[in-house]
Amino acid sequence: MAPHSVGPEPEELSRAISELDLTTLRGTDGTADEAEPGNGPRYTRDQLLGIRSKSSPVDVVINLADVATSGARTPPVHTTAPPPTPEHPSAAPASQPSTTSEQPKKEEGAADEPTPQANMADERAAEEEPKKKKKKKSSGKNKKPAPTGFEEFYADPPITPEEHVEESDIYSEEAPHIHTTTRRIETCIQRYRARRRLDSVRNNILTKYFSLGGIESGAKAFNGGLDTDTLENSTAAEIAAIQATDFIRTGSSKYYDPENDEHWVVDWEGVAKGFLSYRAPKLLGDEEHEVRQYSAVVRNFLNYVLAHGVCPEYTKEVMAARKICDLAEKEFKNIADIQLKLPGDFNIATSTIYGGEYKDRLAAYAEWANPGEDPNGWSAEAPMFSEAIAQFIFKGVVAMVGTKDHYDRAMKDGIFLTQSQARCFEVVGVELASDSAIKEFACIKDPRGLGSLKPVGKLFVKHWEGPGFEEEDMTDDESVHNDADGPIEELWVENHILDHCYEGLKLEVIVRELNIGVRYFDRCVGLYPSFHLYLPNEKMTGWKDPIPNERPPPTEDDPEVEEAAMNAIMDDEARDLE
């Protein structure tokens, strides 16, 4: 390589070579010599620099080292590290190339054409600039919903000192008077609703719970809208009280006047029992998830009452009401299991033989009821048994559970039904079959060899006055049997049903008794939890204030006056329809 004083930059050399017109290097016929590089034509440095580029309007001559090339191949370029990026890139090239001819003058007003060096510097600076990250817009798919206040482990935020002072003033017990309690309960309900996200289901549950306790829900009558004077001269608490939808009505004949405290009883536990045992299952359902939901709503409200000290004088009563919520979830689950399995094989078999609901079914579905060789006839869920299977079950259970007198009389003929009546019982004890008795039951095989008797235990019950929906008109003899302090009676039920029974369970059944002293029931009218309570408030559902009758009553002189008034009303309605 010949020495030279001024040489091109590596980038300039690469760009100049890339802009060469390779067609001028080919032969006249447009073909290139594909022979070995050593046999092809060679060009001198001056010849390479004298070749004009396609894109360049002028001849550019660059002082560079001797480059050998052959044919259409580009000369080899030694890779070198790129120069450092200048802090302020300039449009002027790093080295001024020498030219063989004068550059043509540019027209006035024409913009300078960017040189290759300037373009390379700009590109390098743009590449090295830090790229700004684009902010992604949130789609909202992963956004968690706001807490409702009814989550399993939800707890109200800590009370600030200012809130404590405010609530101490709001819930202060000025005097042991019912009117003070009324005001505190109303305020508590208003503030509770403001701090919970109530959907339509929970709002319906809460409204029905409050209405059972004498708290009406709805817009107050004759309030109208809030005028400007009221808004300017009232505090936020006073405005909230005016706009409240939950209140205890005063001066109404629906309930006792709250200002007359001798007729009122504040019973937190009683309202919880009445709502969870009767109103909620009747109106909202008794499925497991439904019971869990409305029990959780009532429990959540009672927790708020305790946490904010709304009625400190009723703390024990509120805590007792909260226990009823836990009890409801447990007992209704057991009741659902018992309902699926009652009355049991023994009661079905006895009813099939000696009269009752299952004997009527057997007569109506004789062909279908006979299981024959089908082992499903032994299922506890079987609707009925054949006559032979029913006899086998009845006599086997009497022999295992009954007394010797029961067994001797059961083996003879002349057994008949003596009485049948609807009875209400409360469970006072459960006696499961012992381990030895279970083994003995397993040894009693069906004559067909298809199964064995299910172990049977005893359910001890006493009289219960009933669910209380309607007063019963009973005779003197029935009143003797229905004495609450009467004797303890026993019913024979299979072990797999007794596993779900518990003390305090209440049941309404159709009990039948045979002349040998054996009782059985083939129909369960209803099962109720141990805390069942029917409140008198239930009878006020849908009640409205009476309206005075302006029509004159019938008299001796005009006995048809009421009928004439009714006819006049009907004529007016008929004219309106026309």
Burial of 403 (0-12, 13-18, 19+ CB in 10 A): exposed
Q: Are 150 and 296 in contact (CB under 8 A)?
A: yes
Asked whether residue 290 falls in the same domain as residue 390, the answer is no
Asked whether residue 211 falls in the same domain as residue 280, the answer is yes
Cα distance between residue 574 and residue 147, in whole Å: 56
pLDDT tens, residue by residue, 240-270: 666 667 777 766 667 666 566 666 788 899 9
The mean pLDDT value for 159-168 works out to 84
Q: Please check whether residue 535 lies inside any domain of the structure.
A: no
Cα first-last separation, the chain: 120
pLDDT tens, residue by residue, 518-529: 999 988 999 999
Sheet holding 489-494, edge to edge: 489-494, 456-463, 417-431, 506-514, 519-528
Structural domain boundaries enclosing 207: 165-221+231-338
Q: Please check whether residue 373 lies inside any domain of the structure.
A: no
| Residue 447 reports pLDDT greater than 50 | yes
Q: What is the pTM of this model?
A: 0.65
Nearest residue to 258 via CA among 182, 312, 324, 329: 182
> Between residues 99 and 226, which one has the greater pLDDT?
226
Q: Please check whether residue 557 lies inside any domain of the structure.
A: no
Cα distance between residue 273 and residue 331, in whole Å: 13
Q: Please check whether residue 300 lies inside any domain of the structure.
A: yes
pLDDT tens, residue by residue, 123-148: 665 555 555 556 666 655 667 777 78
Q: Please check whether residue 578 lies inside any domain of the structure.
A: no
> Between residues 282 and 2, which one has the greater pLDDT?
282
Asked whether residue 283 falls in the same domain as residue 423, the answer is no
> Which residue shows structure tokens 């009933």?
466
Asked whether residue 196 falls in the same domain as residue 325, the answer is yes
| Residue 479 reports pLDDT greater than 60 | no
> Between residues 337 and 55, which one has the greater pLDDT?
337
In the listed set 338, 354, 374, which residue is the last one of a domain according to the structure?
A: 338
Q: Biggest alpha carbon distance in the chain? A: 149
In our burial notation (b when 16+ CB lie closer than 10 A, e otherwise), range 436-456 reads ebeebbeebebeeeeeebbbb
* pLDDT value at residue 477: 60
pLDDT tens, residue by residue, 361-371: 766 555 554 44
User: What 3-state class would DSSP assign to 385?
Assistant: coil
Cα distance between residue 442 and residue 572, in whole Å: 79
Q: Please check whether residue 528 lies inside any domain of the structure.
A: no
Asked whether residue 291 falls in the same domain as residue 396, the answer is no
The mean pLDDT value for 539-566 works out to 79
Q: Are 428 and 463 in contact (CB under 8 A)?
A: no
Q: Please check whether residue 573 lies inside any domain of the structure.
A: no
Helix then strand then coil, in percent of the chain rounded to 5, is 40, 10, 50
Token code pair at residue 473: 């008109």
Cα distance between residue 207 and residue 217, in whole Å: 6
Burial of 235 (0-12, 13-18, 19+ CB in 10 A): exposed
Asked whether residue 64 falls in the same domain as residue 173, the answer is no
In the listed set 80, 107, 123, which residue is the last one of a domain according to the structure?
A: 80
In total, how many domains does the chain have?
Answer: 3
Burial of 538 (0-12, 13-18, 19+ CB in 10 A): middle
Average pLDDT of the chain?
A: 75
What is the phi-psi region of residue 149: left when phi exceeds 0, alpha when psi lies from -120 to 50, beta otherwise? left
Asked whether residue 46 falls in the same domain as residue 188, the answer is no
* pLDDT value at residue 562: 79
Nearest residue to 417 via CA among 333, 352, 500: 352
433 pLDDT band (50/70/90 cuts)?
A: very high
| Residue 499 reports pLDDT greater than 50 | yes
Asked whether residue 316 falls in the same domain as residue 429, the answer is no
Q: Please check whether residue 153 lies inside any domain of the structure.
A: no
Residues contacting residue 117 through CB under 8 Å, at least 6 positions apart? 9, 11, 12, 92, 93, 94
Nearest residue to 245 via CA among 221, 206, 225, 219: 219
Cα distance between residue 267 and residue 316, in whole Å: 11
Helices 288-307/315-341 angle, 10° precision: 170
| Residue 414 reports pLDDT greater than 70 | yes
Asked whether residue 496 falls in the same domain as residue 414, the answer is yes
Asked whether residue 386 falls in the same domain as residue 498, the answer is yes
> Between residues 382 and 430, which one has the greater pLDDT?
430
Asked whether residue 1 falls in the same domain as residue 69, the answer is yes
Asked whether residue 401 falls in the same domain as residue 509, the answer is yes
In the listed set 80, 105, 132, which residue is the last one of a domain according to the structure?
A: 80
482 pLDDT band (50/70/90 cuts)?
A: low
